[in-house]
């Protein structure tokens, strides 16, 4: 199971590090390895949240997530995305932007870093909406019950998460965005990008929720239609036609949601990678290897049913997302070390995992005590 799920990640790691050593020597080897670890540490919570969505998909869409999805994640977000940022901000053509990234790495890094306020605002708002919608939803299991119970009651107001997100955006635009080091006042840019991030979440998330909500109704209708077709075919002797359900549309929009989610998580990784290297190929290779492990870990969590066994893991991951959203908005003006960002996510997920283990032990002990009592009373 482990080798089947992580096999491609192991293979890509070996080939990627071997190529890094061949192309750039030991220094390149070390840079690629460090970037891989950085990406994994920053995106572990991403894998947990991805798993909560991916488990709703069938095996076909899980394969799409691992194939087409990884191409988008590695080549799209880790290689093409920074070049597109440079092309847009510097008003260059794509070829000129690539040449700039290769020939003038310092200028390339400067342009990507200058776009950080817009990137952080977009990603921060998207991630903040994910956290708010989770924390305001009534759930069977509650990790921090003293906090989650009253918030779930407040969540009965459907627009509350949007209101809080917009207020947070206004606060960011009028505080940290007014004096960005080396860029001055970026309030307008932050507001525009933040609204774009919010709209992206509402559109993609809304469509996926809509189709997912109709899926159960359409499955019942498809079963009824299949039974009718089978009955008609038995009478006429014709072969029954296959019923077409809505699962494909639902899975497609969930896939888009996952890709936008991955993009939001990758923003801080791409920007943070410039602290280690400004070579776009080293960056893409190192972050790409890390992205492979995040994808494989997502599938592993789904196939093992880990989220069902450790019920607070999803809570910890969403709290980590909320923390990352706040850090992204703060990072518009203040530099935040990537180690801090990664450690916050790791600590929250580790705490939620341990709470799940304690809960499972307690339930096991209660079951054993109940069984013993029943046997004693029977005797």
Q: What's residue 168's pLDDT?
A: 93
Q: What's residue 230's pLDDT?
A: 57
C-alpha dihedral (110, 322, 290, 313), degrees to nearest 10: 170
Q: What's residue 240's pLDDT?
A: 45
pTM over 0.85: no
pLDDT tens, the chain, 379 aa long: 667 778 888 888 999 999 999 988 898 899 888 888 877 777 777 788 888 777 777 778 778 877 788 788 777 777 787 788 778 767 778 888 888 888 888 888 888 888 888 888 988 898 899 899 889 988 888 898 888 888 888 888 878 999 999 999 999 999 989 888 877 888 998 999 999 889 988 887 777 666 666 655 655 555 565 566 556 555 555 444 443 333 567 777 778 877 877 777 776 677 667 767 778 888 888 888 888 888 888 888 888 888 888 888 889 888 988 888 898 899 888 888 777 877 888 888 889 989 999 988 888 777 666 655 554 555 4
Closest of 164, 130, 137 to residue 151, by C-alpha: 137
Query: At 92, which helix (H) or strand (E)?
Result: none
Closest of 353, 256, 272 to residue 78, by C-alpha: 272
Question: Angle at the Cα of 327 (from 294 to 44), degrees rounded to 5?
Answer: 15
Closest of 69, 71, 109 to residue 90, by C-alpha: 109
Measured CA to CA, the distance from residue 328 to residue 332 in angstroms comes to 7
Q: What's residue 355's pLDDT?
A: 92
Q: What's residue 216's pLDDT?
A: 57
Tokens 């919570």 sit on residue: 45
Domain boundaries, the chain: 2-367
Measured CA to CA, the distance from residue 352 to residue 312 in angstroms comes to 5
| Rounded (10°) angle between helices 338-378 and 2-54 | 90
Helix (H, G, I), strand (E, B) or coil at 96: helix
Measured CA to CA, the distance from residue 80 to residue 267 in angstroms comes to 13
């Amino acid at each position: 199971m482990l080798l089947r799920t992580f096999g491609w990640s192991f293979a890509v790691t070996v080939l990627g590090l071997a190529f890094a050593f061949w192309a750039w020597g030991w220094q390149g080897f070390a840079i690629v390895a460090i970037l891989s670890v950085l990406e994994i540490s920053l995106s572990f919570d991403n894998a947990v949240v991805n798993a909560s969505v991916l488990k709703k998909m069938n095996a076909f869409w899980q394969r799409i997530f691992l194939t087409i999805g990884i191409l988008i994640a590695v080549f799209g977000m880790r290689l093409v995305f920074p070049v597109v940022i440079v092309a847009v901000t510097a008003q260059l053509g794509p070829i000129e932007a690539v040449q700039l990234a290769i020939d003038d790495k310092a200028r390339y890094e400067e342009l990507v870093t200058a776009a950080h306020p817009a990137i952080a605002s977009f990603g921060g708002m998207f991630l903040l909406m994910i956290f708010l919608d989770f924390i305001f939803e009534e759930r069977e299991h509650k990790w921090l019950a003293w906090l989650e119970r009253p918030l779930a009651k407040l969540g009965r107001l459907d627009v509350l998460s949007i209101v809080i997100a917009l207020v947070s955006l206004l606060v960011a635009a009028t505080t940290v965005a007014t004096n960005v080091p080396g860029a001055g006042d970026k309030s307008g840019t932050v507001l525009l990008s933040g609204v774009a991030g919010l709209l992206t979440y509402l559109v993609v998330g809304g469509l996926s929720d809509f189709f997912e909500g109709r899926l159960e109704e359409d499955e019942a209708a498809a079963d009824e239609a299949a039974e009718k077709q089978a009955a008609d075919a038995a009478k006429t002797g014709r072969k029954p036609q296959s019923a077409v359900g809505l699962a494909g549309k639902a899975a497609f929009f969930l896939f888009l949601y996952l890709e936008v989610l991955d993009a939001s998580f990758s923003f801080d990784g791409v920007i943070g990678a410039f602290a280690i290297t400004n070579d776009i190929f080293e960056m893409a290779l190192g972050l790409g290897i890390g992205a492979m492990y995040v994808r494989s870990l997502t599938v592993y969590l789904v196939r093992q049913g880990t989220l069902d066994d450790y019920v607070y893991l999803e809570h910890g991951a969403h709290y980590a997302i909320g923390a990352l959203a706040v850090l992204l908005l703060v990072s518009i003006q203040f530099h935040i070390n990537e180690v801090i960002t990664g450690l916050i996510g790791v600590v929250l997920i580790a705490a939620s995992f341990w709470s799940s283990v304690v809960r499972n032990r307690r339930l096991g002990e209660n079951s054993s005590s109940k069984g013993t009592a029943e046997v004693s009373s029977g005797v």
